[in-house]
Amino acid sequence: MAQGVLIPSSENYQDLPIFVQWMDFLKWLLHTTEKFPKKVRFTFSDRINNLALNVVEELVEARYSGNKRMILKTTNLKLEKLRILLRISYESKFFSHEAYKHAMYALNEVGKMLGGWIKQQDGKA
């Protein structure tokens, strides 16, 4: 991970489990993509990292927004795009099978939480 990058402590968001889960994954992801080959580090890994950072921003936005449903749907789409990019990364051998398994497990867990939040919002409509 880049030196000087400050990621908020998960402890500050104990009441929002999806945020805590995503922050743990984000820390791992930023560290992992830093090890991508130089030829793709500033293109492919940047795209992955930007999507992941967008997700954390949207989780914060959804928490405080009156229109959570639309933000959560957009976030869900970003998770799907991230799944595809991580699959391509794995198939291109930018990271190991174990790293891919870890990433997919984390994405699936967050996806389940996000799906539950979306269903909750659908019930309010």
pTM for this entry: 0.84
Q: Does any domain span residue 93?
A: yes
Q: Does any domain span residue 4?
A: no
- Number of domains the chain contains: 1
Q: Does any domain span residue 89?
A: yes
Q: What is the CATH number of the domain that holds 64?
A: 1.20.1440.60
Q: Does any domain span residue 8?
A: no
Q: What is the pLDDT of residues 85-94, one digit of tens each?
A: 999 999 999 9
Q: Does any domain span residue 113?
A: yes
- Could you tell me which residue, 5 or 89, shows the higher pLDDT? 89
Give the CA distances from residue 19 to residues 34, 64, 87, 94, 107, in Å, rounded to whole numbers and listed in that order. 22, 13, 23, 27, 12
Q: Does any domain span residue 6?
A: no
Q: Which residues of 38-71 are buried (b: 16+ CB within 10 A; e: fewer)?
A: eebeeebbeebbebbeebbebbeebeeeeebbeb
User: Which domain does 110 fall in, by range?
Assistant: 16-124
Q: What is the pLDDT of residues 37-84, one digit of tens each?
A: 999 988 899 999 999 999 999 999 999 998 899 999 999 999 999 999
Tokens of 23: 């922050």
Q: Does any domain span residue 81?
A: yes
Q: Does any domain span residue 1?
A: no
109 pLDDT exceeds 90?
A: yes
Tokens of 117: 């939040």
- Could you tell me which residue, 41 or 111, shows the higher pLDDT? 111
